[in-house]
Amino acid sequence: MAFHKPMNVLCQFTDRSVPPRPTLAGFGLPKGVYAAGRLDFDSEGLLLLTDDGALVAAIGSPKFDWPKSYLVQVEGTPTDEALQRLRDGLELNDGPTKPAEVAVIEAPAWLPPRDPPVRVRQTVPDAWLRLVIREGRNRQVRRMTAAVGLPTLRLVREAIGPYTLDGLAAGQWREVRAPELPARLRRSGAPRVATHSARGSSLEADSGPSRPAARPGLIRPWKRDGR
């Protein structure tokens, strides 16, 4: 599933806080799916979900090098030096970052105002960046921009690998075709299963016992004994 996570929503289906915070349970997602990767509570944008445990683990693995593209509203004026530091990689408290792709862009016209609104200071300019990284450390993009003197005001993930928001409004989701995992990330001996796109096209599963038809668009994890 491709889901446009709104701001201030947890990437899980339950919350033990008192009072509980908004979670994924409030958006009508199919039962049995889990977030493949994370997105901060106060960030917005694309979140992938699946009921395939191997896929969840693979996308969350440091070896999974799909580019992740973010639209970042920052406080201040980006200088050439600051942008080059991001491109070269910089030192954070948990080690150096990999080189990033970064460019100054116009404010995305399709992006609606945030709820709650971004707090901006009238005397301090702000700017938008498109930042592409191949890592996923805790609050990494925010820490990277802060390290070069550009605190993040708003953060929207627009793409993960080949998957994009592509017209999804905040809170909306759609079924998408499952990716083919690289061999190095596939569980040893794990069975491959049929998958279906939202349009109804399918991939053939490896030969084996017949299995109940899965709901189109979802990836069904089957145990080794075929149940």
Domain of residue 118, CATH code = 3.30.70.1560
User: Is 169 in the same domain as 133?
Assistant: no
User: Is 72 in the same domain as 144?
Assistant: yes
Has residue 192 got a pLDDT over 50?
Answer: no
User: Is 139 in the same domain as 206?
Assistant: no
* Model pLDDT for residues 6-18, shown as the tens digit of each residue: 999 999 999 999 9
User: Is 76 in the same domain as 130?
Assistant: yes
Residue 40 annotated to the active site: yes
Q: Which domain holds residue 5?
A: 1-62+163-227
Q: Which two tokens stand for residue 222?
A: 């089957």
Percentage of the chain lying above the pLDDT 70 cut:
80
pLDDT (average), residues 159-188? 85
Q: In 100-186, where do the E strands start and end?
A: 101-105, 126-133, 152-160, 163-164, 173-174
pLDDT of residue 225: 34
Number of domains in the chain: 2
User: Is 79 in the same domain as 152?
Assistant: yes
pLDDT of residue 195: 34
User: Is 95 in the same domain as 150?
Assistant: yes
Residue 128 forms beta bridges with which residues? 73, 105
User: Is 148 in the same domain as 75?
Assistant: yes
Which of 15, 40, 115, 166 is an active site residue?
A: 40
* Model pLDDT for residues 17-33, shown as the tens digit of each residue: 999 999 999 999 999 99
User: Is 92 in the same domain as 151?
Assistant: yes
The closest of 153, 182, 133, 191 to 76, measured between CA atoms, is 153
pLDDT of residue 186: 62
Give me the CATH number covering residue 225: 3.30.70.580
* Model pLDDT for residues 139-154, shown as the tens digit of each residue: 999 999 999 999 999 9
pLDDT of residue 209: 38
2-11, 47-56, 214-223, range with greatest mean pLDDT:
2-11
114, 138, 160 - which closes a domain: 160
Q: Which two tokens stand for residue 111?
A: 């992006």
User: Is 48 in the same domain as 83?
Assistant: no
50: part of which helix (H) or strand (E)? strand 44-50
Contacts by 211-218, CB closer than 8 A, 24 or more apart: 215/30, 216/175, 217/1, 217/175, 217/176, 217/177, 218/1, 218/30, 218/33, 218/50, 218/51, 218/175
Helix axes 140-147, 80-88, angle to 10 degrees: 140
160, 193, 213 - which closes a domain: 160
178 pLDDT tier (thresholds 50, 70, 90): confident
pLDDT (average), residues 212-221? 38
**Cα–Cα distance between 59 and 219 in angstroms, integer?**
15
User: Is 95 in the same domain as 167?
Assistant: no
124, 143, 160 - which closes a domain: 160
User: Is 217 in the same domain as 193?
Assistant: yes
- The larger pLDDT score, comparing residue 225 to residue 118, is at 118
Burial environment of residue 185 by CB neighbours within 10 A (0 to 12, 13 to 18, 19 or more) = middle
pLDDT (average), residues 129-146? 94
